[in-house]
Amino acid sequence: MQHLPAIVVVLTVLLQLGTIWATGHAREKYGVKAPAISGHPAFERAWRVQMNTLESTVAFLPSLWLAVQYGFPLWAGVAGLVWVFGRVWYAVAYLQDAAKRGPGFMVSSAAWLATLLLGVVGLVKALLAG
């Protein structure tokens, strides 16, 4: 399972590509011409999914790296899989109805916090040891 964190990174990139595709598809389907980011509600939901996922990824990936670098690659990988699952759940739910995005958001947030906690604990242990 040493490659699990790398698999999580690949899945995260694929998730980003999926949200980009969904936004582009919605832009075309609902006739929202660039550079507009408002128009049809379905397009706006796709746009928010893309942006929210991008924002979440910016916090998640460094936390994953810290947890892997400082001694918890397996647990970081598992938490990373949960994060990806939660973000996919969030995206699918949000695209259908913005009010349904909460559970996926909570799952991915808990997984992100787990990677952050693992990274901080590992870093503190390394600092104290050395």
What is the CB neighbour count within 10 angstroms for residue 101? 21
Over range 103-114, report the average pLDDT.
98
Tell me the residue ranges of DSSP E strands in 13-80: none
The pLDDT of residue 130 is: 83
The pLDDT of residue 114 is: 98
Report the predicted TM-score, pTM, of the whole model to 2 decimal places. 0.96
Report d(CA 41, CA 44) in Å as an integer. 5
Report d(CA 39, CA 115) in Å as an integer. 37
Q: Measure the CA angle with vertex 26, ends 22 and 32; round to 5°.
A: 140
- Nearest of 21, 91, 82, 85 to residue 53 by alpha carbon: 91
Tokens of 121: 């604990």
pLDDT digits (tens, 9 = 90+) for 22-67: 999 999 999 999 999 999 999 999 999 999 999 999 999 999 999 9
pLDDT reading at 112 higher than 90:
yes
